[in-house]
Amino acid sequence: MQTQTASEFDVAKVRADFPILTQTVNGKPLVYLDNAATSHKPQCVIDTINHFYAAHNSNVHRGVHYLSQLATRELEGARDIVKKFLNAASDKEVIFTKGTTDGINLVAQSYGRKFIKEGEEIIISALEHHANIVPWQMLCEQVGAVLRVIPINDDGELLMEEYEKLLNPKTKFVSVNYVSNALGTINPVKRIIELAHAQDVPVLIDGAQSAPHLKVDVRELDCDFYAFSGHKVCGPTGIGILYGKQHLLEQMPPVQGGGDMIKVVTFEKTTYNDLPYKFEAGTPHIEGGIGLGRAIQYLESVGLDNIAAYEHELLEYATELIGGIPGVRIIGTAKDKASVLSFLINDIHPHDIGTILDQEGIAIRAGHHCAQPVMQRFNVPSTARASFAFYNTKEEIDALANAIHTVIEVFG
Ligand code: C6P
């Protein structure tokens, strides 16, 4: 598929796929700018889930009967779609999880507990979401490891020379996000991975905010693990993906025991199932997985490169328009950014900003965005955050700018 220029991108056509976008909120057309929290679902994903329950509902991997085989084929078909989406080498490397948080916890508790020992070090960054901080802190408490943090500059960019200094023979794992949810910074993950690999250190990429916006090829990136959430890529909630290199996953113990993850169980000993099922204990989120597969097909039909180009133009437009309003301060001014505009207006509390925007039908997020250390770094308790998707328009950004003027008027 040839990449469209942003002006060629047919946003009206795309918007027609999302039934929720036609509604009004507080008497105004909905302007949904909270896509980093969760994205909306196109009709094809909603239809796929409905159809599963209406026609195919059954448990998977267990039954010899028709419906069970159908459901199994659909779920495994979705795994294959994800495999191709990520360019993973094998379906064995694609594990269904509950979401990004679940995937990171799995790696911390499985790889971490087995391979990281007292006094050894784990590197994360100052840009992380709590989901990529707390699981490592928990692991550190359990095994006596030490957490090290790559600092950031005032634009919200990682200080790569500090990262290089942090890497040392005690480093046993690196875990960083590709795109910061609080600031939108796109991190130089390829370089981060190269530097870690030069010291034989594996790297997990938190892809929660990159999967919806950037084309990712895990083999080209050479990451060891990549975690993302279905609900941020136009798919259902409660489902996500953990990609892991097969040779690492093979060495890792399961974290949860139960049905589906075993081959033989006796009271004396249990042998575990092959990948990826070893990490998928219990009945999976079947319609979630199938819905996620459909969502990825949908994103691919729009084209990840088209999405990235169009969203880049939206972000540039918003940065200039909103950043130019007297009293507005943008937090996060990295050179390389995706889809997030975090801002403050004078000393108005972001919750007040969010409430007034809501009255205008505009949905943004106000708060610490589950990234409190980022807020601490900028010495602010919270920010207002507008986050864009490929179904947003410049007119919606104009509406945001107008509503910000209203906020300023209300608070004098
Ligand atoms: N960020 C936001 O509004 P889950 O909740 O598991 O789907 O995703 C967690 C997560 C992990 N890493 C990053 C970079 C994220 O942005 C998120 C989710 C949402 O910014 C909800 S807090």
| DSSP letters spanning 113-127 | HHH--TT-EEEEETT
Give, for all 412 residues of the chain, the pLDDT tens digit. Answer: 667 777 689 999 999 999 999 999 999 999 999 999 999 999 999 999 999 999 999 999 988 999 999 999 999 999 999 999 999 999 999 999 999 999 999 999 999 999 999 999 999 999 999 999 999 999 999 999 999 999 999 999 999 999 999 999 999 999 999 999 999 999 999 999 999 999 999 999 999 999 999 999 999 999 999 999 999 999 999 999 999 999 999 999 999 999 999 999 999 999 999 999 999 999 999 999 999 999 999 999 999 999 999 999 999 999 999 999 999 999 999 999 999 999 999 999 999 999 999 999 999 999 999 999 999 999 999 999 999 999 999 999 999 999 999 999 999 7
User: Residues 285, 360: one domain?
Assistant: no
**Of all protein residues, whose CA lies closest to atom 5 belonging to ligand 1?**
101
User: Which residue segment(s) compose the domain that 122 sits in?
Assistant: 46-301
User: Residues 66, 130: one domain?
Assistant: yes
84 inside domain: yes
> What is the predicted pLDDT for the residue at 4?
76
The CA 118 to ligand 1 mean position distance, Å, reads 29
Q: Answer with the one of 301, 320, 350 that is the final residue of a domain.
A: 301
Identify the CATH number of the domain in which residue 90 sits: 3.40.640.10
Nearest to 292 by CA among 31, 10, 94, 68: 94
Contact by Cβ (8 Å): 344, 384: yes
Contact by Cβ (8 Å): 100, 240: yes
Q: Which one of 209, 214, 364, 368 would you pick to mutate in the ligand 1 pocket, going by the greatest count of ligand atoms within 8 A of its CB?
A: 209
30 inside domain: yes
* Backbone φ and ψ of 331, nearest 5°: -105, 115
User: Residues 73, 143: one domain?
Assistant: yes
User: Residues 249, 104: one domain?
Assistant: yes
* Chain-centre distance for alpha carbon 319: 22
Q: Is the C-beta atom of 181 inside 6 A of ligand 1?
A: yes
> What is the predicted pLDDT for the residue at 63?
81
**Of all protein residues, whose CA lies closest to atom 1 belonging to ligand 1?**
37
**What is the full DSSP assignment across 216-260?**
--HHHHT-SEEEEEGGGTTS-TT-EEEEE-HHHHHHSPPSS-STT
282 inside domain: yes
> What is the predicted pLDDT for the residue at 62?
81
> What is the predicted pLDDT for the residue at 412?
78
Q: Is the C-beta atom of 385 inside 6 A of ligand 1?
A: no
User: Residues 136, 284: one domain?
Assistant: yes
Helix (H/G/I), strand (E/B), else coil: 386: strand
User: Residues 283, 310: one domain?
Assistant: no
Overall number of domains in the chain: 2
**Of all protein residues, whose CA lies closest to atom 2 belonging to ligand 1?**
37
User: Residues 163, 250: one domain?
Assistant: yes
231 inside domain: yes
Q: Is the C-beta atom of 368 inside 6 A of ligand 1?
A: no
User: Residues 149, 286: one domain?
Assistant: yes
Q: Which residues pair with 205 in a beta bridge?
A: 176, 226
Q: Answer with the one of 255, 282, 301 that is the final residue of a domain.
A: 301
Q: Is the C-beta atom of 100 inside 6 A of ligand 1?
A: yes
The CA 174 to ligand 1 mean position distance, Å, reads 19
Q: Is the C-beta atom of 110 inside 6 A of ligand 1?
A: no
The contacts of residue 64 (CB under 8 Å, 6+ apart) are none
Identify the CATH number of the domain in which residue 331 sits: 3.90.1150.10
User: Residues 231, 313: one domain?
Assistant: no
278 inside domain: yes
**Of all protein residues, whose CA lies closest to atom 8 belonging to ligand 1?**
100
Ligand 1 atom index nearest CA of 177: 14
* Backbone φ and ψ of 271, nearest 5°: -105, 140
User: Residues 324, 297: one domain?
Assistant: no
CA distance 6 to 36: 21
Q: Which one of 101, 181, 204, 226 would you pick to mutate in the ligand 1 pocket, going by the greatest count of ligand atoms within 8 A of its CB?
A: 181
Beta strands in 167-224 (DSSP E): 171-177, 203-206
1 inside domain: no
**Of all protein residues, whose CA lies closest to atom 17 belonging to ligand 1?**
208
**Of all protein residues, whose CA lies closest to atom 16 belonging to ligand 1?**
181
Instruction: Give the C-alpha distances (Å, rounded to integers) separating 154 from 319, 335, 343, 374, 399.
Output: 17, 12, 14, 11, 29
Buried-state track 374-402, b at ≥16 Cβ within 10 A, e below 16: bbebbeeebbbbbbbbbbbbeebbebbbe
The contacts of residue 14 (CB under 8 Å, 6+ apart) are 302, 390, 391
User: Residues 55, 11: one domain?
Assistant: no
Q: Which one of 102, 187, 229, 365 would you pick to mutate in the ligand 1 pocket, going by the greatest count of ligand atoms within 8 A of its CB?
A: 229
Q: Answer with the one of 301, 327, 347 that is the final residue of a domain.
A: 301
* Backbone φ and ψ of 392, nearest 5°: -80, 165
Is 370 among the catalytic positions? yes
230 inside domain: yes
Q: What's the 3-state SS for 287-341? A: HHHHHHHHHHHHHHHHCHHHHHHHHHHHHHHHHHHHHCCCCEEEECCCCCECCEE
Ligand 1 atom index nearest CA of 232: 7
Helix (H/G/I), strand (E/B), else coil: 23: coil
User: Residues 293, 319: one domain?
Assistant: no
Nearest to 211 by CA among 184, 179, 236, 243: 179
Which value, to the nearest 10 degrees, does the dihedral of the CA atoms of residues 206, 210, 214, 215 take? 30
Greatest CA separation found in the chain? Answer: 73
402 inside domain: yes
Q: Is the C-beta atom of 129 inside 6 A of ligand 1?
A: yes
Q: Is the C-beta atom of 157 inside 6 A of ligand 1?
A: no
